Chain A
Amino acid sequence: MNCEKYRILIEKYLDGVMGDVELAEFKEHAEKCAVCRKEFQRCKNLQNVVQEILSGATSPEQARYTILSKVTTGPQLAASSTNKSALGTIIRSRITKLAAAAVIIIGVFLGLNHIGGPDMISVAWADMPNAIKAMPWIHGTVFNQLKNKPEGEFWLCFPAQIVMLDGCYEGGDIGVFNNIDRVQYVYDANSRTIRVSYIEHAEQVFEHALYPWRQVENAIERFASAEDRVVEETGEYEGKNVELYTLEDAKDTYVSHIFTCIIDGESGLPIAIEQKAVVKKIQQANQHWLTRLDYPEEGPRDIYALGAPESAKMVDDLPGPGVVEVLDTYYEYRDSAPSRYVAIFTESTGGNRERLTFVEYRDGVHRRWELYDITGKPGGRYFAWDEFMSVLKNESVESVLRWWENAKYKRINYVRIYDEKHQYAFGAVDLEGKRHSPRVSILTHYRSTSELTKLGWPFLLYSGSRIIEDNYSRESNLICVDNNNYRYYLDPERDYICQRVEGAATREVIQFGQTSSGRWYPKAVTRWHPTQPKRHPVTRVYLQDDPAFEEGIFDPERVYDRSWE
């Protein structure tokens, strides 16, 4: 068998440039040819082994949270960076007082007797999170069994929306979050400072502080969803009648998750939850946590009661006068920005380099985002682009989309579909040549921001912001919000659109549009950078509001029904 051609294809795979047609062709050949099959497998194995062995324990999503929390509170753009070890702060959190309190519960249970009485209170798994949340305070300690060390301690008061964390909070060693006053105190042991700032967005900051609680809640949810597989025992623990529940969840074939929960027979509430993930092949745990819970009447008074030293320097980063009112209004407008539309976004880079186009469909709940490449060179480098632009100038968005359907010189690169909770990302062709397996991820607040919102209503921080007046804001009658790194100019006459942002670069809305219902939106936005004063790229928005959507356009199952090429 002549395998030379297929060896070249393996090389292409190694280079990362193997197309789906070639892959299909190769697979067909590999079914018959053991030599090529082996060679290809070896190449894949090597890649996998290197990738696996050089990977860290922190996921990209976790890293995103950690780094964003650092850069929003730490280094300034274009300023010198911190030389503090950020992850080190998390890992070396000061939680020594917990070390003494940590007990490995597994050992305790070895002597468990089956003596439980019939009078124990029984709270259904599904109701348990609410029963716990109704308690005045929840106190938990988290112990990492693998590292054999305590990870942190948390105090939660759901009625007053207060979370206090010691060691569990990655933005600092100790944190106190009051979601009603929207104030957070974070103690950083390295700089010995307590930073007082505003809780920007409860759905991010407060939710993030609730992380240890979410772990408890998730474990309980697992019990609730697999009740028929839960093994129940009763016994005695620390002089109390308890119930011990175990669940082995082995849905994932690679790792099995084992949950153990000890419920206090008197209150019906959990007093310890253990979570363990075991890699089946090697029968070794790669995660093993123990959370102990109790329900005191009162929690710590303040951050000092949690262990922050009285001598720590207090840094006030609360918003200046008037900021909360202005930004609350700004966010109201941001939340009610046009949300039912089809919009075409074009982007020129100011020079003659590349031009991008993407289309966004929004029906108020769902969002579909398509990135196009305009290809084709007959009669000139940007032949197809010019044709596209001429259609765009003279006709409606709908006509352009029709033109698009038949255009020869365009290619869809990516499609993303969003529902309220998920993002589905589709690539034109993946490495294996598959087209029907989108990458699905849970939506965060950041990702769900629409393109139009990003252009007109960027994400602003309350903390450290002040309302000021400068020449530009006076002349243009705008509200200027100054946030150390950036200056934002909001236009109260046009739905609080952020007309200009000055930071390391400057961005400005140079043209405004209005929907048929009178809502404003940014129609053309330019930006420039001090190091590239000649390049002024412009993003233009061509928007059609309240359109009739093609059936199934927001359905991830039907994404490949439409033409991609």
Chain B
Amino acid sequence: MSENRRLTDARDEQLIAATLDGDISSFGTIVERYWNMAVALALSKIDDPVEAEDVAQESLIKAYSQLSSLRDPSRFAGWLSKIIAQQCTNVIRRKARERTVSSCEGDALEASASAPNTNPKLDNEQAHFVRRAVRHLPENFQKIVIMRFVGGFSTEQIARQLGKRHGTVRVWLHRAYNSLRKELAPLLEEAKES
């Protein structure tokens, strides 16, 4: 994934400028560039992968429609992550309302365990285990882990995108890494063997 990011060419600023100039295909490149990260950010908050993809898609459409209000195009990823967080909150609120109406739904953990796993390499239980570990991280850590591991940004780039100090981002990433390592130790041993 990191490789993908490094190998893409035009910068976000160029693509955004071109989109605003009427070149819709440039936005397509942005979509391709950030799709995986957007889905991952949504999946870190929403259990249902289909719903998470919905959120990712809606967020990118929203980003497109509000692109001209983005003040600093070099921080597109940070801006997009905020839109996704907002969209996720909306979905979670809506679901909570629905749940109060229909009381026969199971609790969140059960829903999460039964959520279909789109990844064929790990079984549902393992997938749930990893998602839960990521979800247990503080929100800031979650975002950085996803931007780094899925979005392929370096810590320097993440710092720039989020408007944080580089040192802070590094510390957060390393703490998140250590925490995930502890929680996922059994799974990682298995992955190593394969």
Contacts and interface: CB of A to CB of B under 8 A. Distances in A.
A531 B121 contact: no
Nearest to A485: B22
B2 A486 contact: no
B120 interface: yes
A87 B54 contact: yes
Interface size class of A (residues with CB under 8 A): 35 or more
Interface string B42-56: 011000011011101
A78 B58 CA distance: 15
B20 A503 contact: yes
A329 B156 CA distance: 48
Contacts of B134: 50, 53-54
A127 B3 CA distance: 40
Contacts of B180: 46, 50
Nearest to A53: B130
Contacts of B97: none
Contact of B61 (A15, A67, A279, A356): A67
B107 interface: no
A458 interface: yes
A63 B31 contact: yes
A16 B154 contact: yes
Interface in B165-194: 170, 173-174, 177, 180-181, 184, 187-188, 191-192, 194
B40 A60 contact: no
Given A68-B31, A414-B9, A504-B67, A74 B118 contact: no
Interface in A402-455: 413-414, 416, 425-427, 429-432, 438-439, 446-447, 449, 454
B1 interface: yes
Interface string A69-90: 0111011111111110111100
Contacts of A486: 22
A503 B64 CA distance: 13
A488 interface: yes
A76 B53 contact: no
The SS class assigned to the A binding surface is mixed
Given A55-B40, A86-B57, A431-B3, A63 B32 contact: yes
B23 A86 contact: no
A35 interface: no
Nearest to B21: A507
Contact of A57 (B20, B53, B152): B53
Interface in B61-101: 61-62, 64-69, 71
B122 A81 contact: no
Contact of B52 (A43, A56, A63): A56
A414 to B, nearest CB: 4
B92 to A, nearest CB: 15
The SS class assigned to the B binding surface is helix
Interface string B1-44: 11110111111011001101111110111011101100110011
Contact of B149 (A17, A47, A78, A85): A47
Interface stretch (A111-119, A280-288, A296-304, A316-324): A280-288
Contacts of A426: 7
Contacts of A371: 9-10
A58 B35 contact: yes
A369 interface: yes
A49 B122 contact: yes
A328 interface: no
**Most chain B CB within a 10 A radius of its CB, from A45, A54, A429:** A54
Contacts of A48: 191
Contacts of B120: 255, 279, 282, 284, 286
A431 B6 contact: yes
B103 to A, nearest CB: 24
Contacts of B10: 371
Given A17-B155, A425-B7, A56 B68 contact: no
Contact of B35 (A64, A347, A413): A64
Contacts of B152: 16
B50 A87 contact: yes
A54 B35 CA distance: 12
Contacts of A286: 120
A52 B119 contact: yes
Given A42-B188, A504-B67, A58 B27 contact: no
A56 B64 contact: no
Given A414-B7, A488-B22, A64 B65 contact: no
A47 B145 CA distance: 9
A14 interface: yes
B58 A52 contact: no
Contacts of A551: none
A77 B67 contact: yes
Contacts of A438: 7
B184 A16 contact: no
A307 interface: no
A72 B28 CA distance: 11
A181 interface: no
B192 A42 contact: yes
A501 B56 CA distance: 30
A238 interface: no
Contacts of A492: none
Contacts of B157: 16
B61 A82 contact: yes
B174 to A, nearest CB: 7
A86 B27 contact: no
A478 B10 CA distance: 31
B68 A78 contact: yes
B160 interface: no
Given A58-B35, A79-B65, A50 B21 contact: no
Contact of A74 (B61, B173, B177): B61
Given A41-B192, A49-B130, A16 B31 contact: no
B28 A427 contact: no
B21 A55 contact: no
Contacts of B105: none
Given A15-B154, A45-B188, 10 more contacts: A16-B155, A17-B154, A42-B181, A56-B56, A67-B27, A75-B64, A78-B68, A286-B120, A347-B14, A432-B3
Task: Report the 3 A-B pairs with minimum CB-CB distance, sorted nearest first.
Answer: A16-B154, A446-B25, A54-B40
11 contacts: A51-B150, A53-B130, A63-B60, A64-B32, A67-B57, A279-B121, A282-B121, A349-B13, A426-B7, A505-B17, A531-B71
